[in-house]
Amino acid sequence: MFTGIVHGTANVVSIEKKKNFHSYTIKLSSLLSEGLKVGASVSNNGCCLTVKHIDKLYYTFDIMKETLNHTNLGILNIGDYINIERSAKYGDEIGGHIVSGHILNTAEVCRISEFSNNYTLWLKIHNKNIMKYFFYRGFICIDGISLTIGEIIENEFCIHIIPETLLRTTIKNKKKGSLMNIEIDVQTQIIVDTTERFINNQKKYLFKNIISH
């Protein structure tokens, strides 16, 4: 479990690409890596990955086919930076919102507005079916960052970024066309799916009664 509060960024130093399987190594600061062991869960751009190997400050992770298909980790290059969050512990302050590290899909940066300490990022969702989970001022996790949804127009939405978030994360490096990992707030998803299922069941029940009569 994570909270969407990025602890820092890490540099990708090597990548091994195989068919439907990648391994990559990042270099963590001594602060980010303190107490980190093989088998531990770490949020990489919002995606929960397991530490495979450790060599001093160098940490290696495997990326399976499913993760490659649904996240931006498969398009990383050597030298890229990613957002890092260590898993939450009982008693930790929840500064963002509860995040599982299970990416639903990616969104494409379609425009950026920057002026006088204000930074607004607009993203486009290609899978319109998941737009039902987007609500004004609702929680969302983007590349591992807990953020609040702003305006929504069809399959596009915006997020407003404060200077501190720009400083501490990789958002400042994003350009038009960049892909970012999206995780929907799990409580929102449960409410929407449960309501949708209930309404569909009611429709089926009413239709069945009409036919029987």
Render pLDDT for 172-198 as a digit per residue (tens, 0 to 9).
999 999 999 999 988 888 899 899 888
Instruction: Name which CATH class applies to 105-191.
Output: mainly beta
Parts of the chain belonging to CATH 2.40.30.20:
8-86, 105-191
**The tokens 């993203």 sit on which residue?**
123
User: 3-state class of 95 per DSSP?
Assistant: coil
* 15, pLDDT greater than 70: yes
Report the chain's mean pLDDT, rounded to a whole number. Answer: 91
Render pLDDT for 102-119 as a digit per residue (tens, 0 to 9).
999 999 999 999 887 789
Q: Percent of the chain having pLDDT more than 90?
A: 74
Render pLDDT for 49-61 as a digit per residue (tens, 0 to 9).
999 999 999 999 9
Hey, which bits of the chain come out as E strands? 8-18, 21-27, 41-44, 47-55, 58-64, 81-86, 105-115, 118-125, 139-142, 145-153, 156-161, 179-184
**How many angstroms separate the Cα of 136 from the Cα of each of 99, 125, 185?**
19, 15, 13
Q: What is the pTM of this model?
A: 0.89
Q: What is the CATH number of domain 8-86?
A: 2.40.30.20
